[in-house]
Amino acid sequence: MTSIDLNADLGEGSAHEETVMAVVSSANIACGGHAGDAGTMRDSLRLAARFGVAAGAHPGFPDREGFGRRELHFPPDEVRAFVREQIEALKAVAAREGVPLRHVKPHGMLYNMAVRDETLARAVAQAAADSGVPLYFGLAGGGSVMLREARAAGLREIGEGFADRGYAPDGSLWPRGQAGALLPFDAATAQGVRIARDGVTTAVTGEPVAVPARTLCLHGDGAEAAELARTLRAALEAAGLRVAAP
């Protein structure tokens, strides 16, 4: 049976966190950059342990006001430092809770910029490698340099697709704020299954897009997050896919 990981961005203050955590197989936990503190990290890690979910770090730009979704620019050594600092903060809490960290997945604009910016992608991957966390989630397919830099840093790269985000023809994510960036419930469910089963989806502009994903993301902070998580997992299993962390 083909398997697919189902991950969600959590630890960001969503009211749906426990319900979403009960359904996914991996959790990307905010660790103090765009959101999160020692208390929310502890709570998320405890939920992950309770539900048998693989816990990972979700570092972002140090930009709480913009929730890490604004384009910012830092020298590579500063990026490496603040990403490492965030991962280490989560590692410290995880060690106290007895929960291993399995992966790193950058957040928001840090992720989107690292898709194309080789220098930024290298700094983030090196910070992840410095932390000793073995797996790295990055955009699957397209012109992404994220996974290449992760591999060069000695990490095990895991290609990621998005159930609830629209795609551009080059395989990048359609920009937030533009029509088609966030998919409605039924379309997100259908896209998630298609990516997981066939490794392909359709761009917002109509072209086919290859998405060779081994993990599938849904966002944990939307109004329909809990229902989408349950529905998507059921649809994946109905399509003959086993949902499991890498």
Burial of 106 (0-12, 13-18, 19+ CB in 10 A): buried
Q: Is the pLDDT of residue 222 over 70?
A: no
In whole angstroms, how far apart are CA 185 and each of 39, 54, 136, 182? Answer: 31, 25, 27, 9
- Residues 186-198: pLDDT tens digits? 999 999 999 999 9
Q: How confident is the model at residue 242 (pLDDT cuts 50, 70, 90)?
A: very high
- The CATH code that applies to domain 3-243 is 3.20.20.370
- Residues 162-208: pLDDT tens digits? 999 999 999 999 988 899 999 998 999 999 999 999 999 999 999 99
- Residues 50-90: pLDDT tens digits? 999 999 999 999 999 999 999 999 999 999 999 999 999 99
- Residues 117-153: pLDDT tens digits? 999 999 999 999 999 999 999 999 877 899 999 999 9
| Whole-number pLDDT of residue 177 | 86
- pTM, full prediction: 0.94
Residue 5, both tokens? 């990981």
